[in-house]
Structure 1
Amino acid sequence: MPRKKETLTLSIPPGTKAQLEEIARRLNIFWGKSPSPSGLISAIARQELEVGKPFTLTSEQVNALQQATAALIDAGHVEAAKTILTLLLDRGNLEPPLRQSLLQQIGKPTEPWRIEVEKFINQEQPFRLLYRNSQGQDLDYTVRYAEICFYEKRFYLQVWCEETADVEEEMADLPELWHNRCFRLDRIQAILPTSGGWRGEFDAIEVYLHFYGWLVKAYQPKPEDIDDKVMGEVRQVVRRVVNHFWFLREISRYWEDCVILSPESMRQRMQKKVQRLCHLYDLL
């Protein structure tokens, strides 16, 4: 028996029917082969469609969701991260470079490496790590100690590994740190257990810092600080450093209110960065 239907008469401006048909066509609402304004109105009444101004994410919301995505991937919650990526692509008013980057992320298979890594760490199990760096190079390491560390905006895998050949030239002045590496979790390609012992700690150097001006009182001690004292108008901090890259990035934010005293190798690294910066700004 045919279902009883109600009739609704609408008075609409010229061109509105064509606009409704176009919306129905876009939403795949048809009567036979023709787009159906009636079906469109029925779907709105059943609250199956969103009406009004389309919901879009603000730039602040996009930034927050990007950070959440990175944190979820690092924590091993890959499917949840892909759900947020889909939301960003659907509802974010994205510039083409960012949209392309997110499309690449959502199409790239990502294993929950943090879960696997933490299992090996808890078991003190050495492992082989296959890693693809930012230059597209595949590198292989034998890891005998590891920690999940947070630097700036995300978690990283920091390790002590046997291999040193890939950094000996770049870090000729810091042989004490040749065995330490820091990896992005989402660039890990494979992890396999291997034989041998577990070290229990990273290699490290002690770096002496002097803080001046407002930082004498404002400096917040870090877990890696092994000595901290105020001497007149100077605050001296001794820091145990296992990764020179992140250390230099951290103290760079203090500008002229922080100076590396020793070791000379670390002091010279900062000097080279300052010289390069001066050159770029035509000060040399």
Structure 2
Amino acid sequence: MGRKGQSITLSLLEREKAALEKLALEYGCVWGDRPNISKLIKQIAKRELKIAPNNDWQLERINVLERIRTFLIDQGQIDEAIAVAQILSERGELKDIALKREIEKFLQQPLPTWRQRIDSFIRRQKPFQLSYQDAQGRIWSFSIHHAQIVTHEKRQYLDCWATETEGNLDLPELQHNWSLRLDRIQDAAVSPLNEKWRSHLDSISVELHLYRGLAFAYQGKSADVHNDWHPELPKTRQVIRQVTSTFWFFREILPYGKDCKIIAPQSISDLFKQDLEALYQMYNPKH
């Protein structure tokens, strides 16, 4: 006579049953090719599978993972970003409702089709045509020969080299460079261009002198080609950097104030002085 097995009855919602079946598949608890919840429970009872708390992570860990997720998105590594988002979505510590909804929305549709196409062209180093309507209803079209997704001041931008220059107010040497804010693109048409990919954006070599505490505290940037103490001027740090956008360059050095001076080229120095003079006139309209 065969041994009579014992049975238990589980009261489960449909989504809970589906979750258990998913776990059973993940851990190989199957009958034929179908998930078997009973086998899953047996493995847990035998301590072959370990049950761990799902609410013991500190907030700092959640925040770090979220920063990693957004960084991966910026780098175009969507599969990796999805994997991190799935880890976050399964955690019981995720109490921030806004963040939870954002992650759920991302998992449902990680990126719009046009953004996925842009990432694909960048990875394959293939020029492309980008046409879109911005938040103000203006139509823009760019023939892009080099591009990269970057973060400026906590927002994502497409920094790119395009054939078009009309409307670009930068110096003539940099007018092929554009910095397009991605969250202002609601929808876009992206198509291939039969052109040659450029290895980099246009750039200008700029020399800076840093003084006082900044000279000691300055941390080099990836665009710096030289960063050392000046061979002739005491207590002066000489930095030479490749600049692709005067807009972002000026926004970076403005907080340095009197501890930073643009030495060369004169065109960059003059443009920065114009901005400073306009700022001075705004606060001193009678002068």
Assess same fold via TM > 0.5: yes
Tell me, in whole angstroms, the C-alpha distance in 2 between the residues paired with 1:90 and 1:136. Answer: 40
Deviation at 1:152, TM superposition (A): 7.8
Name the SS for the 1:55 alignment partner. Answer: coil
Equivalent residue runs for 1:39-188 within 5 Å: 45=45, 53-91=53-91, 92-110=93-111, 111=116, 113-120=118-125, 125-130=126-131, 139-146=140-147, 157-165=158-166, 167-168=167-168, 171=169, 174-183=171-180
Deviation at 1:142, TM superposition (A): 0.4
**Amino acid in the other structure paired with 1:204:** S
Name the SS for the 2:90 alignment partner. Answer: helix
Tell me, in whole angstroms, the C-alpha distance in 2 between the residues paired with 1:245 and 1:48. Answer: 59
Stretch deviating more after TM superposition (84-93 or 224-233): 224-233
Kept after mapping to 2: 8 A contact 1:159/1:181: yes
Name the SS for the 2:72 alignment partner. Answer: helix
Name the structure 1 match of 2:210. Answer: 211
Tell me, in whole angstroms, the C-alpha distance in 1 between the residues paired with 2:195 and 2:118. Answer: 22
Kept after mapping to 2: 8 A contact 1:70/1:154: no
TM-score by length of 2: 0.61
Name the SS for the 2:212 alignment partner. Answer: coil
Name the SS for the 1:263 alignment partner. Answer: helix
Tell me, in whole angstroms, the C-alpha distance in 2 between the residues paired with 1:135 and 1:85. Answer: 32
Task: Give unmatched runs, 5+ long, in structure 2.
Answer: 19-40
Report the CA distance shift for 1:197/1:112 in structure 2 as closer, same or farther (over 3 A): closer
Question: Identity of paired residues, percent?
Answer: 32
Deviation at 1:151, TM superposition (A): 6.3
**Amino acid in the other structure paired with 1:178:** Q
Tell me, in whole angstroms, the C-alpha distance in 2 between the residues paired with 1:206 and 1:85. Answer: 40
Task: Give unmatched runs, 5+ long, in structure 1.
Answer: 8-20, 30-40, 279-284
Name the structure 2 match of 1:192. Answer: 191
TM-score by length of 1: 0.61
Report the CA distance shift for 1:270/1:192 in structure 2 as closer, same or farther (over 3 A): farther
**Amino acid in the other structure paired with 2:127:** P
C-alpha RMSD of matched pairs (Å): 4.7
Count of residue correspondences: 247
Report the CA distance shift for 1:88/1:245 in structure 2 as closer, same or farther (over 3 A): farther
Deviation at 1:114, TM superposition (A): 3.4
Report the CA distance shift for 1:163/1:6 in structure 2 as closer, same or farther (over 3 A): closer
2:272 aligned to which of 254, 266, 271? 266
Kept after mapping to 2: 8 A contact 1:71/1:155: no
**Amino acid in the other structure paired with 2:218:** Y
Kept after mapping to 2: 8 A contact 1:206/1:239: yes
Report the CA distance shift for 1:42/1:133 in structure 2 as closer, same or farther (over 3 A): farther
Kept after mapping to 1: 8 A contact 2:156/2:181: yes
Report the CA distance shift for 1:118/1:78 in structure 2 as closer, same or farther (over 3 A): closer
Tell me, in whole angstroms, the C-alpha distance in 2 between the residues paired with 1:60 and 1:138. Answer: 42
Name the structure 1 match of 2:35. Answer: none
